[in-house]
A and B are shown apart, each in its own frame.
Chain A
Amino acid sequence: MPTTAGLGPGVLPDQPLFDPSTSPRDDKPRRVTLAGVVSWIVALLFFSPILWIAMAALKTSDQLLASPPLFVFKPTLDNFLNLFETPNILQYFVNSVLLSLVSVSIAIAVSYLAAYSFSRFKPPGSDFIMFLLLSTRFVPAAAFVIPFFQLFGVLHLKNTYVGLIIFYTMFSVPFSVWILKGFIDGVSPRFDETGLVNGASRAHVIFRVVLPQVKPGLVAAFVFNIIFVWNEFLFDFQLGGKGTSTIPVALFTSLYQGGAVNWTYVAALGTAYVLPLSVLIYFFQKYLLVGMTFGTVRGEV
């Protein structure tokens, strides 16, 4: 500064502002309230089917079908041991993991680029294109399973990984584009321009400037679509075959194994199936909120 002999305003406060939202509030003692108790009860009620399946997986067939249901019993791991001796069971797991990871990853990459274009270049008719994209997702899947069945038949894509990956990628793109566009809209174009003016290429702006700022959106889109694909049944049932069946299909077909329902098998497979997804959702639940709101509710991600 030009020999500012005075104190000048520089010495005066210009500290980060105090933000009450991130500061500890009063240390009020935690009290058990009626509302708290009720919400616990309701939550456990919602959780009870999963709990039942998980418990059933640890029971013998007789215990499982006992009436009234047993809550205290000696757990057994036999069902799981049996499960892994079932023919093709590993194949089902590999199929589920492979199809969901590969197709969702491809979908996220494609969707990110598409969302960037929609957000920044706003091609004519953007809104309508975005609407068309989502259209396959707001009618029940059963409504368009026939055209796909015929199409895949003609193209010899039935019961192939390529075919199902193509389908699930397409299945995952709409929500991903919507979620990611919401996030990219939230990144000011001033960032792009700062990069461009300083000599950056468009690719640099897309991957180095904007991408790091929408990571929560990428995670949200990823988790969201993994859930969809992991749980998808109808199309795998129709378009897949023995070699490409996923666990939901295996669960369904096994229901009728040997003329009667094999409850212990279903319970063990169901539990093994629910577990990875539950872990994923538990750790990324905050991203699900932002995903469901297409990036408009940021939360603390």
Chain B
Amino acid sequence: MDTPVSNEHVVELKSLRKTYGAHTVLNDLSMTVNKGDFAVLAGMPGSGKSVLLRLVLGLEGPSSGEVILRGKNVSDDGPASRNIGYVPQSFALFPNKNVRDNITYPMRLDKASPAAINDALERVCSLLTITDLLDKRPEQLSGGQKQRVAIARGLAKETDFFVLDDPLVGLDFKLRERLIDDLRYTRSALNVTFLYSTSDTLESLLLATSVAVLANGTVVEQGSLADVYAEPRTADSLRGLGFPEANFFAGTLRRNGSDTRVETVFGDVQVALDGEFGAGDVIIGIRPEHVRLGEAISGSIGVDAIVEFTEDVGGSEILYLSAGETPLVTVLGASSQLLETVKTGHVRASIVPQDLLVFDADTKVRIGRGQGAGRG
């Protein structure tokens, strides 16, 4: 059961900036993590996720700005005083210690009593079903077991806040499926807060209650996953959250009095602007699930396309189409009746203009959305 989200901040980052020499990694970054969140930092590799986590953990200090942890400014404090549970990338299980000693390591460092250590050990082991492994050494474990032990070690600290740095990267698909369930369940069972980084889109979608999208060293959007998914305010959010990745086209906004239009592969589309925006270059985005095949529904506009390649991802089929020169991606359920028509290689791809999102080409911020079919 997901814990109701409260407004109490566990972490608050204010105008963070981090530079290495002349290289700026994070710039004017602000975000918050609420108590009880499964907060996911989503972003491409190299967008600054790991550096951000290092600042939160205290492994590095910010060049400017503030890190506020549980209401207290800790920007200048080292990691030891921050009381954060940590699951690093790539396991980092001590090879010279058995599983039990690995898991109890944080508590032994905290000089917890043997009774408390035993309680914590039992708790995390039953959560992650690793009780049988306690006397093994890390090299005797499979990848999935190692990862579960690493997660258990992170969770064995008596604290309310945990940082997980892309812990499932490199694991095979079935293991990730299992661990995603484990992580979701663990967070709600302990009623704690997770800050979790990943560059895997599906992982973000399956885990997050709240999400912060990182691009170019700053958080471009933050909010509940459902909200950001439904109404992405930047092109990076649309790109970073959603599997398969959204379709993007370049376009130019034309204005004629109050009538604003953009030319797309589906035809001319009228655009409803959110605010003031002159004519100029825009990015148009649409989610794959909004590119529909088969019978046109009322108000939709469409284009003939060729099926180039299909990819079966188990329960869904991803279709790579081309409409003239323009590539289009769409997705069908495995039970869809349409799969038969796809085999012919020729389909009609149509959209409802309201599903088209329009972003400023420079700032990547959303400026409006499609509104109705045009003259085409």
Contacts and interface: CB of A to CB of B under 8 A. Distances in A.
Direct contact of A and B (CB under 8 A): yes
A147 interface: no
A17 B86 CA distance: 27
Contacts of B109: 195, 198-200, 204
B84 A197 contact: yes
B329 interface: no
Interface in A181-214: 188, 190-191, 193-201, 204, 209, 212-213
A196 B78 contact: yes
B88 A196 contact: no
Interface string B102-117: 0001100110000000
Contacts of B81: 199
Contacts of A2: 185
A213 B102 CA distance: 14
A95 to B, nearest CB: 37
- Name the residue in A9, A15, A16, A191 with the highest tally of chain B Cβ atoms < 10 Å from its Cβ: A16
Contacts of B336: none
Contacts of A204: 109
Given A197-B86, A200-B109, A191 B157 contact: no
B89 A197 contact: no
A198 B157 CA distance: 8
B39 to A, nearest CB: 18
A213 B95 contact: yes
Given A190-B92, A197-B86, A199-B110, A9 B79 contact: no
Given A9-B177, A14-B144, A198-B157, A193 B94 contact: no
A188 B92 contact: yes
Given A188-B90, A190-B90, A191-B94, A196 B59 contact: yes
B92 A197 contact: no
A203 to B, nearest CB: 12
Q: How large is the interface on A (under 10, 10 to 19, 20 to 34, 35 or more residues)?
A: 20 to 34
Interface in B54-81: 54, 57-59, 78-81
A106 B308 CA distance: 68
Contacts of B84: 197
A193 B94 CA distance: 12
B94 A209 contact: yes
B250 interface: no
B344 interface: no
A198 B162 CA distance: 11
Contacts of B57: 193, 197
B178 interface: yes
Nearest to A204: B109
A193 B141 contact: no
A199 B80 contact: yes
B131 to A, nearest CB: 13
B92 A16 contact: no
B96 interface: yes
Interface in B236-264: none
A209 B89 CA distance: 17
A196 B54 CA distance: 11
Name, among A1, A9, A188, A193, the residue most crowded by chain B CB atoms within 10 Å (CB to CB). A193
A10 interface: yes
Given A17-B142, A194-B88, A9 B174 contact: yes
B332 to A, nearest CB: 25
11 contacts: A9-B174, A10-B178, A14-B144, A190-B88, A193-B86, A193-B92, A194-B153, A196-B78, A200-B80, A209-B94, A212-B94
Interface of B: 54, 57-59, 78-82, 84, 86, 88-92, 94-96, 105-106, 109-110, 129, 140-145, 153, 157, 163, 174-175, 177-178, 181, 185
Interface of A: 1-2, 9-10, 14-17, 188, 190-191, 193-201, 204, 209, 212-213
Give 7 closest A-B pairs by Cβ, nearest first.
Answer: A190-B92, A190-B88, A198-B106, A212-B96, A197-B86, A199-B80, A196-B79
